[in-house]
Amino acid sequence: MSIHPAIAPGNVAVITGGANGIGLAAARRFAGMGLKVAVADRDRDQLALARQALGEGHLAIETDVADPASVAALAQQVAGQLGPVAVLMNNAGVGRGGDVLAPREAWDRVLGVNLLGVLNGVQQFVPAMVEGDAPGLVINTGSKQGITQPPGDTAYNVSKAGVKALTEGLAHTLREQTGGRVSAHLLIPGFTYTGMIARHLPQQPPAAWTPDQVVDTMLDGIARGSFYLWCLDNETSREVDNRRVLWSALDIVEDRPALSRWHPDWKDAFAAYVKG
């Protein structure tokens, strides 16, 4: 059974943040399925390695996803050298933006890449997918942190919560305008050992998944027709993840303090809830 009609030999896939981590794992997988792949990234050295890894017939293009003009140039180059895009994976991401009181420059950096970078990708590539008559697939990389909002890197949480809302809205728009011919999906990784993590942890922690495990789960979910492509890791079960998500939603329903999971008056109740 086909994973998705857009994932077919000869079709074109564009992956931002594609020079390492989840993006490179997806690029390798799509290339192995016979797609022509264009990876976009800001890191020239990693792009050179990605170009070697993918081989002939693929592109590795230096791109700043936070800059609309750079993404427009990416779209133009891909169209000119590879053809119409069937698969778009907006995957570029950065972290360590800080809490609400962190410097504005840190917020601008994180929101520019993680949220506006996704918007730039969607606005440059998706209109042509809608106007055409071929199957299309859009995958936007979110995060569990954009759903459960753990304290610490609030800028990152806000950016990924925005990606969730953006992708949900995009899925509805595509359903209305294309009847499902072009579909959108939200990739939700757990703890994954990517280049962003490797800068701070030189060895893969036992709890972390590999990027290839994330891509396996992503493709399985797309094949099932799932919108939320929920990934696990080696320390948290799906049952625990589900309870964390439900607890966060119940903060609103039950009028609890914000982020009550980490509130001293509620943390014991949360622990009991997770245990069931």
d(CA 110, CA 227): 24
Question: Tokens for 238?
Answer: 């799906």
Q: Where are the alpha helices (DSSP H) in the chain?
A: 21-32, 44-54, 68-81, 104-114, 116-131, 145-148, 154-178, 195-198, 211-224, 238-253, 267-275
Which one of 36, 144, 156, 193 is the catalytic residue?
A: 156
d(CA 32, CA 11): 12
d(CA 159, CA 171): 18
Contact 154, 205 (CB under 8 A): no
Question: Tokens for 227?
Answer: 């919108």
d(CA 23, CA 199): 17
d(CA 11, CA 13): 7
3-state secondary structure of 130: helix
- Is residue 160 part of the annotated active site? The answer reads yes
Q: Phi and psi dihedrals of 114, rounded to 5? A: -75, -35
DSSP secondary structure string for all residues of 12-46? EEEEETTTSHHHHHHHHHHHHTT-EEEEEES-HHH
d(CA 24, CA 51): 10
> Catalytic positions, please?
156, 160
